[in-house]
Amino acid sequence: MTPPSITPVILSGGSGTRLWPLSRQLRPKQFLPLVDELTLFQNTVQRLQGIPQLEDVLVVCNEEHRFMVAEQLRELRLAHQGILLEPVGRNTAPALALAALHLTQQGKADALMLVLPADHVIANEGAFQQAVQQAALAALDGYLTTFGIVLQRAETGYGYIRQGVDLVGLPVKRVAAFVEKPDVATAQAYVASGEYLWNSGMFLFRADRLLAALAQYQPKVLQACQSALAHPNHDLDFIRLDAAAFAAAPAISIDYAVMEKTHDAVVIPLDAGWNDVGAWSAVWEVSQQDTQQNVLRGDTLTHQASGNLVHAEHRLVALVGVDDLVVVETKDAVLVAHRDQVQDVKHIVGQLQAQQRSEARIHREVNRPWGMYDCIDAGGRFQVKRIVVKPGAKLSLQMHHHRAEHWIVVSGTAEVHCGDKILLLTENQSTYIPLGEIHSLSNPGKVPLEIIEVQSGGYLGEDDIVRFEDTYGRVV
C-alpha cells in the first residue's frame, strides 16, 4: 500500500511568558534556539523530513511573527504551502479551520493534516515518524486522531486522555475521555491505572472531516473562518484574511470545540521523548548536562555549583556555591530563579506588562525583515542604534514628525535616498536626515551593511514612522 501524503500544519502562536527574559511577545519561545542550534520551530519542521509522501508545510502564525517564520524556513531551504496570518489570536479551533479551508480552496479537501505546535521537543524522531504513519491509517478512515504521550511521571501541568477500546485493524484506541489538569493524588492514580496518556496537542485528520465536525459542533467558528478566508490576499509568502470576520470567531481550542464532543476521536500512544518546554525547568531537563548536572550556555564559570541552568548571551556569568538555580542573562534583563519556582516567571511578565515596560514585548535587539537593530544607548532627547541591513534589503520609504537622524556607515555600502538626493556611502562616511524629510536606506552590496544611527528629538518612539512605500507589505 502506498503511504498517504501528509500536509504538516504548524501552529506557531503563543507567547511563552514562563521563558522570559529570552521569550518575549515579539520573539516567543518557538523562534529561539533553546535546546540546540536550531530554533524550536525549525526543529519541528526538520524532524518531519523522514516521513514518506510528505507535502510542504502550511504554517498558521500571528501576523507580528510572519517575517521570523519566513526567514527561519528560508534558513533551512524548505518550501511551504503558505503562511496564514492570524490578525488576532483565537486559539486552535479557528486556526485549524483556516488551514483546512485553505487546503480545500487548493483542491485538497481530503488532505491529511498533521497538526503540530511549533514549540515542542521530541528526542526520538524515528518513533515520532513511525507514530505519524500509523496515525495516518486511522485518519484515512475518517477518524480524528490525537497523539497521547506515554506517562513518565505524575504531572499536574498537563491535560490527560483516558484510553478506551482498541479499534479493530488499526493501531489506535478510542478516546474514552479528555481530562483536565489533575491534582497530585489524581495524577498518581492516573499513572497507576495504566489507562491514561498526556494530551500532547498534536493531531492528524482529513481536512474535510475536520470541517464537517466544526459544522456540526462549532458552526460559528466555521462561518467566521469561511468569511475571513473568502477573499484571501496573497502578499509575498503570506496569506492575509479579513481581520474583522476572523475576530468574530469564538476563541476556543480544538479539544473543546471538537475532540471532546465527537464519537470519532481516537488516540495513538507516543513514547518519543516528548516535552512541551513550558518553563526553564523543562529546558534544563532536555538539555545536555555536565558532570555536576549543570546546563551551561554562553560565557559561564561555576564553582561548587550543581543542578543549575545558566544562559549567558553577552556577559560572563559566574555561579559559586549555589544549586538548582536558573540564571538567564540578556542585553537588557537578568532572571535569577529557583528551578522549582520557574512556573512563576509569568508573574514577572505580568508586572512588566502592567507597568507598560518594553522588556515584556521586545528585546533590545529587534529583528526586522531587512535585518536588525540594537538600541545601544538612550537619553532624554537622544537614542543611538546599531543597524544591520542584509545584502539587497531595503528599509521603507518613510519620514518622522518628531526626530532627525544622523547615519554613520561602519561597514558595507549604503544607498541613501533623502528628499531629492541619492547618496552612496561607504565606511566612515555619514549623512544627516532632517526632521520631516522623506528618506530610505538600502544595501546594494554583497555583504551586510552596518551603520550607527543617532536620533535626536522630542519623541523617539518606533510609532513615529510614516511609511510611503514598503517592500515587505507593512502598513503604509
Q: pLDDT digits over 196-251, tens only?
A: 999 999 999 999 999 999 999 999 999 999 999 999 999 888 999 999 999 999 99
What tens digit of pLDDT does each residue of 392-444 get? 999 999 999 999 999 999 999 999 999 999 999 999 999 999 999 999 999 99
Same domain, 312 and 262: no
Mean pLDDT confidence for 272-281:
94
In a domain, 284, yes or no: no
pLDDT tier for residue 13 given thresholds of 50, 70 and 90: confident
Tally the domains of the chain: 3
In the predicted model, what is the mean pLDDT of the chain? 94
In a domain, 37, yes or no: yes
Return the pLDDT at 462. Answer: 87
Domain containing residue 374: CATH number:
2.60.120.10
Q: Residue for cell digits 552596518?
A: 450
Angle subtended by helix axes 92-105 and 219-228, to nearest 10: 50
In a domain, 353, yes or no: no
Using CA atoms, how far residue 476 sits from 236, 397, 418, in Å, is 16, 9, 18
Q: Residue for cell digits 484571501?
A: 232
Same domain, 250 and 107: yes
In a domain, 359, yes or no: no
Nearest to residue 254, comparing CAs of 73, 129, 98, 451?
98
What tens digit of pLDDT does each residue of 88-130 get? 999 999 999 999 999 999 999 999 999 999 999 999 999 999 9
What residues are paired with 113 via a beta bridge?
7, 205
Mean pLDDT confidence for 51-76:
93
Same domain, 183 and 302: no
> Is there a contact between 151 and 198 (Cβ–Cβ < 8 Å)?
yes
- Residue 476 in this model has a pLDDT that exceeds 60: no
Using CA atoms, how far residue 257 sits from 95, 148, 157, 201, 252, in Å, is 12, 18, 21, 13, 6
Nearest to residue 436, comparing CAs of 421, 408, 457, 414?
457
- Residue 259 in this model has a pLDDT that exceeds 70: yes
Return the pLDDT at 366. Answer: 85
244 or 152: whose pLDDT is higher? 244
Same domain, 46 and 114: yes
What tens digit of pLDDT does each residue of 155-171 get? 998 999 999 999 888 89
b (16+ CB within 10 A) / e for 119-138: bbbbeebeebbbbbbbbbbb
Same domain, 307 and 414: no
Query: Phi and psi dihedrals of 243, rounded to 5?
Result: -65, -45
Region of poorest pLDDT, from 33-37, 321-325, 327-331, 445-449 = 33-37
Return the pLDDT at 98. Answer: 97
Domain membership of residue 97 as a residue range: 6-275
Q: Give 447: exposed, middle or buried? Use CB within 10 Å, 0-12, 13-18, 19+.
A: exposed
CB atoms within 10 A of CB 395: 23
Return the pLDDT at 14. Answer: 76
- Residue 322 in this model has a pLDDT that exceeds 70: yes
Return the pLDDT at 475. Answer: 62
Same domain, 167 and 40: yes
Q: Are strands 112-117 and 6-12 parallel, antiparallel or unpaired?
A: parallel
Same domain, 265 and 300: no
- Residue 42 in this model has a pLDDT that exceeds 60: yes
Same domain, 224 and 96: yes
